[in-house]
Amino acid sequence: MISNDLNLDTYRRQFAQRTRVQIRDFLQPDAAAKLRDCLQHEVPWTLAERSSGTSRTIPAAQYAAMAPADRQSLLQEAYAAARGQFQFAYDSYMMVKAAQEGRDPGLLLHVVLQFLNSQEFLEFARWFSGEPRIHAVNGQATRYRPGHFLNRHDDEDVQEGRVCAYVINLTPRWDPDWGGLLQFHGADGGITDSFVPRWNSLSLLRVPQPHSVSLIAPWAGEDRLAITGWWLRR
């Protein structure tokens, strides 16, 4: 599934030096195209959000039936709560939970999760990160649409054992003017770096470090599609 044409040694050195890297053309082209089609047409999306101050997901059937005004009301509540605390709102499909519950058999995302937890991929993750204790990869599919966002956080979770956060970007064309940038925050409150969600790229960052996904603009011409999660150690 990973492209055979990558110079991974170069990216590995960059990651060791900067604690983050974006790898272009990460997946084989056919695999990337099939995943994009799955996210565009097959995933039963839920809404992940924190408008009430607690993380929750609105089930797919309920979310699909919501009136546009009700969806917008939830976003407005999330915007108000985001002034000074961690908040988010975006479409989600929790891959591990769906697999454990036996939901949506035949969905390509289940194959992806199996690949991410294969011995081949785990060995790659250990080598690339320099962390020999990596033993699992979790994941969720995400879809950011106009008004969606994920504000500043650092992903640290000692109990879960997060080593690196990853994002496999699957939108064919993305204009930075549409928002949706993976932004890295400095100690002074400024933005020190930004990754555009380029087609078929892997964005990888060592945990913890402050980062966010900027608000998707109302004029965005595409949905920001991705598979994201963490490499986990024992």
Structural domains of the chain, with CATH: 8-233 (3.60.130.20)
| % of the chain beyond a pLDDT of 90 | 95
User: Is 219 in contact with 149 (CB distance < 8 Å)?
Assistant: no
Is this structure's pTM higher than 0.85? Answer: yes
Amino acid 39: pLDDT: 98
pLDDT tens-digit map of 60-117: 999 999 999 999 999 999 999 998 889 999 999 999 999 999 999 999 999 999 999 9
Residues 6+ apart with CB under 8 A from 42: 107, 108
User: Is 57 in contact with 37 (CB distance < 8 Å)?
Assistant: no
Residue appearing with tokens 């064309």: 173
3-state SS, residue 37: helix
Amino acid 133: pLDDT: 98
Residues 6+ apart with CB under 8 A from 198: 22, 24, 169, 174
